[in-house]
Every structure is written in structure tokens, then in C-alpha cells.
Structure 1
């Protein structure tokens, strides 16, 4: 039974469920909600790599999400570029800005880094909100084109958009899996565990932190670009700090520093939020205490809690086996001793 809850099995089950989901339901609204959940998962994976595996909490994640969304929107609506060219350029622009901001922000550590990125995220929001001639200000941008056709493949229906976003999500999961289980991923974990110790064994911590920061912003930009082309309208609110806290909530609930955490947390929160829509602003009165209890009793989230339970279960079985072996050895020694005394 416990093997069912292994991270690999949980992700495999999710992939299978996601592929067949449109065949289970004919409700376009549910497909719309699931597509949005996939987009948020991509953003959560970006934050998870930085905060969960390197130990640096960036509170500017929504800002980079907005940069990806606005870059795609401006390049297509105002510059007249083709969709896929604008899509690629949006990711490049987000990553380059992440590189510049990372060079400065990563000179700080711990809560200073979080505070600095919080300020950066708010500045990005203010630029989007106040630069009316470029971004449309509070009115936002409308008429954003959807994904362009790729040969015979079209993206004119909710289901086709669903599978397009799912493709990018699966690609994100694959990239994250390869990074985490590579030497680079172990380097990130070493920095998280002890940055000073990592430096003493020859790890270039600044280079690796900058690398993971740029990767994190890349996936935030990817999620933002997909969001803009899916919703077809964006406003400055997508770069506000509450979006970062929403993404962080998905990560904490699912399990920070785990591969399945972004999937688990996002699915649970998004669908529970949909069921509690009738409560409107009172939803946080329910989420608040639940999140507090989760942080207290399961600080590693749902996926992390399941991992800890599996480890304790394996350790208990190992100890029981050792005790059985020890008892068998004692019985064998007693029988040998009794036999020797009898022969003597």
C-alpha cells in the first residue's frame, strides 16, 4: 500500500489522469479550470527549484510571471510578431531580466534576499501599472492571440489548449526531474543544507545560485506566457504580491522540496477554491487555519509528510527485522550451548 504513495507513482498517476481527463468530463468549464491549474503548476515548479532545493525564497515570482505574460502580449499585439516567435522571445526576455536581477539580489541571503525580491516584485508591478502608454496601465491588454497552428495541429478548442499546456507541464516535470537527480541538483541541495560547507568543498555557490534563479524565472515566464495566450486578457494584478503568496501556498501545501508537491498542492487548492466560491472573501477564514495546522504538523507538506511516513515505516520494518534476526541468533546460540552441555 505504501508503495502507491511514492513520488514517481504519484506523478505517473497524475499524468495518466491528466491525459484521460477530457474524456471523463464534457464540461468545458472543468477543462478550463484544469488548464489554469496546469499553468500554475509550471510556475510553482520554478519556485520550488529555487526555494525548495536551494533554500532561497524569491517573493518576486509573480513579477517574472507578469513579465512573461506582458512580453508575449506586447510582442504580438503591438509589435505584430508571430505567436511562437513572440513566445520564445518572452522566455528569453524573462530569463535575461532574471539574470540581471539575480546578479544583484543574490548578494543577499536568507530573509534579506526575501525582502529584496519582495521589493523587486512590487517595483515590477508598479511599472506595469503606471506605464500606461506601453502596458495599458490598469486597463491591461486585450486581444492577445491564442497559440498559432503548428502545421495541421490547431489550438482553437478548449481541449486542444488543454493538451498544449499539459505538454509544457510534462516537459517541465521532466526537466525538473533531470535537474534534481543530476550533479547540478545535488549541488543545489548542498547549498541549501550549508552554503559555507559547499564553498569549502569547492562549489561556486554564486554561479549555481544564479543558475537556479534564472531557471526559476524562466519557468515563471513560461507560465506567464501560457496564461496570457490562454486567458487572452491580462492586467497588472497578475504581478501583484498576492499572486506570489498564492503560488507559495500551493507549494507549501503540496510539499516544498519535493517533485510531486507542486502537482498535489496546486490541484488541491485550485479545486477546493472552486468548491468554496460561494463563500467569496470568507474562503481565507477556512484556508488560514488549515494552512497553519499543515505548517505545524506537516512542515514538508502533503508529499513531504507521505515521504516521512514511508521512511519511518521502512525504518520500523528494518528494526523489526533486526530484532527478529537477533532473537534467532540468540536462540541458535542457546541451542548450540545446550547441545554442547548435553554432549559434555
Structure 2
């Protein structure tokens, strides 16, 4: 019996809804909520990398832009959380427009190297521009998300459900994008620029749109992170977070919807249970990542989808002429 995708997604949602009642303490809720936030950002990175074929190494920088948008507007200018949060993804997307106009003229690893430099510049600006970002001191006292009617988000459990809501909404929006004509356009670009151009696809316009949508999700995740953690420092813009999100995609399955989600949840929990190896994190995960890339290049979900397609694919019929020839050969 085949498990329908709708049934699988429903089971995941029910498990997520029940998790606060199964978690032993608020720390477990914090770990899972943070994993959900990074899952939103990873879903955005997967759009530009997995579906469009452009590896953006400045993704954590755009997440930091969204986070600092909320932090600066709420702490320094007295804005309520929700209006500042509404601008987090928008500001990241606007910045992504200008970065994309320059970087997307480059191809392959040149694009990745350029965005790596952009991400490092973002980190330096956050660290050194003390009058705006508070520098290495960071931004302290960011307000929690404001209450919506009877819903108060000052406790761990309501905050968990708030983050879960935005994760589900992000996955639903991403599902609509990748299964639309726009999503097929992105995949065509990933499969080959020249072929896509021959089909009449405007490469620059669609790459730029994919880039802006991708960093919008990163900014949104950053805004949620600021309201959840309520403290920001330059470290959020570090390129290591982009590499973490890349690992989530590779483990789960790049170019799939479920893969980045499972990777973003499974890997942080694995690190929690390997705290004794925290100082040797990259020594442990580096070889593991190499093994995955070599032996499971499509990730857990991608490999499972390919196996399922091979299993259910009908056997190709043998032409009648071939059957007749085989009988003559045997005769």
C-alpha cells in the first residue's frame, strides 16, 4: 500500500502539534522552535539552490538583515513587534534585489564566491557599525511577539505554536511556488541556462525573482528569531550558519520540499545528543557529509523518492517485432 503525500504531511503536522505535550521541558521546546526557524530559512535557500541552481553563500547574512530589522525598529525606535516583523522579509528582499542585480550576472562558482564576499561584508557591517547595530555588544531587550487577542506569546508553548504556524505557512507557500509554472521555470533554469533561454525564458528576471523570494524567507526567519531569542549579535550573520543550512539540505534532500525540513530538524537534535563532541563538531560532521554526498547524493528524501519512482514505474513493454525475433532465435 502506497503512503500518500497528504497522509505523510498530515502525520508530521499532528506530531508537531502534539510535541509540546510530549516534550519533557521548555528546553526541548526551545530546541525544536529554533530548528523550525532555521527550517524556514533553509526552505528559502532550497528555492534558489535546489530548484534554481544558484548557491547563495550570503543566506545567513540576509537572515541577519531580517533579525536586525526587527531589533533596531523595536529597541531603538519603539516600534511594536508585528509591524517590525512585517518589514523583516521585505527589507531582506529589497536588499536581495540590489545584490542579485550584480551577483546573478555571474555563473556557477563565481556567483557563490561573490555571495560569500557579500555575506562577509554584511557580517563586518553588523559588527562595526555600532551606531546602527550596537556592534559586538548586540541588541538586548527585543520584545516578544505582541499578543493577538487572547493569544499571549510570552510563554514557551504559545511561542512554539507561533513559530510552527509560520513554518507551515512557509511550506504551503513554497509548495504552491514549486508546483506552479513559475516553479517549473526555475527548474528549467537549473537544468540549463541555454535550454531555458531557447524556450523563451527571461533568465535574469526569473533568477532575480527566485533570489528575492529566497532571501525573503531568510529575512522572515530572522525576524522570528529576533522575537524568539530577544537578543542579537553579529554571529547570526556568520557564514557557518549558511553551511549549516546547506548541510540540512544535503542530508534531507536538496530540491525537495520535505528534505530541508527533516534535515533542519534532525541535525540540531543530533548535535544536542552529541554535546560532548561540540568542540569537534566539524570533525564529526565533515566526514559524515562527505559520505552522504558520495553514497546518498540525493539526500534521504531524494533517494527515497527516486526508489519509489523506480518501484512503481511500469515495466517497458517489449515490441512485438522483438518478441517474434526472439521466438525465431529460439526455434
The alignment partner of 1:42 has SS state of: helix
The alignment partner of 1:150 has SS state of: coil
1:235 aligned partner: 233
Q: What TM-score results when the alignment is normalised by the length of structure 2?
A: 0.93
Shift of 1:33: 0.5
Shift of 1:289: 1.7
2:130 aligned partner: 132
Shift of 1:12: 2.8
2:62 aligned partner: 64
Question: Distance in 2 between the 1:55 and 1:99 partners?
Answer: 18
Question: Distance in 2 between the 1:150 and 1:268 partners?
Answer: 31
2:206 aligned partner: 208
Q: Structure 1 unaligned runs (5+)?
A: 334-344
Given candidates 156, 164, 181, the residue that maps to 2:179 is: 181
Structure 1 contact 7–259 (Cα < 8 Å) conserved: no
Given candidates 282, 285, 288, the residue that maps to 1:284 is: 282
Question: Distance in 2 between the 1:82 and 1:143 partners?
Answer: 13
Question: Distance in 2 between the 1:7 and 1:253 partners?
Answer: 20
Question: Distance in 2 between the 1:94 and 1:285 partners?
Answer: 33
Deviations 1:72-98 (A, max 9, x none): 000000011111111112222111101
The 1:111/1:7 distance shift into structure 2, 3 A limit, reads: farther
Structure 1 contact 10–260 (Cα < 8 Å) conserved: no
Shift of 1:226: 0.5
1:160 aligned partner: 158
1:82 aligned partner: 80
1:342 aligned partner: none
Structure 2 contact 81–227 (Cα < 8 Å) conserved: no
Shift of 1:240: 0.9
1:249 aligned partner: 247
The 1:205/1:85 distance shift into structure 2, 3 A limit, reads: same
2:302 aligned partner: 304
Question: Distance in 1 between the 2:264 and 2:118 partners?
Answer: 25
Question: Distance in 2 between the 1:46 and 1:313 partners?
Answer: 31
Deviations 1:45-89 (A, max 9, x none): 000000000000000001000000001000000011111111112
Q: What TM-score results when the alignment is normalised by the length of structure 1?
A: 0.90
Given candidates 12, 15, 20, the residue that maps to 2:13 is: 15
The alignment partner of 2:56 has SS state of: coil
1:264 aligned partner: 262
Question: Distance in 1 between the 2:272 and 2:11 partners?
Answer: 22
Shift of 1:8: 4.5
1:341 aligned partner: none
Shift of 1:283: 2.9
Given candidates 42, 45, 48, the residue that maps to 1:44 is: 42
Question: Distance in 1 between the 2:71 and 2:188 partners?
Answer: 39
Question: Distance in 2 between the 1:156 and 1:164 partners?
Answer: 11
Question: Distance in 2 between the 1:152 and 1:259 partners?
Answer: 33
Q: How many residues align?
A: 323
The 4+ residue runs of structure 1 with deviation greater than 4 A are 6-9
2:90 aligned partner: 92
Question: Distance in 2 between the 1:289 and 1:322 partners?
Answer: 43
For residues 18-37 of structure 1, the aligned pairs below 5 Å read: 18-37=16-35
The higher radius of gyration belongs to: 1
Question: Distance in 1 between the 2:222 and 2:139 partners?
Answer: 14
Question: Distance in 2 between the 1:208 and 1:122 partners?
Answer: 26
Question: Distance in 1 between the 2:283 and 2:93 partners?
Answer: 37
Shift of 1:205: 1.2
Question: Distance in 1 between the 2:265 and 2:86 partners?
Answer: 28
Given candidates 85, 100, 103, the residue that maps to 1:102 is: 100
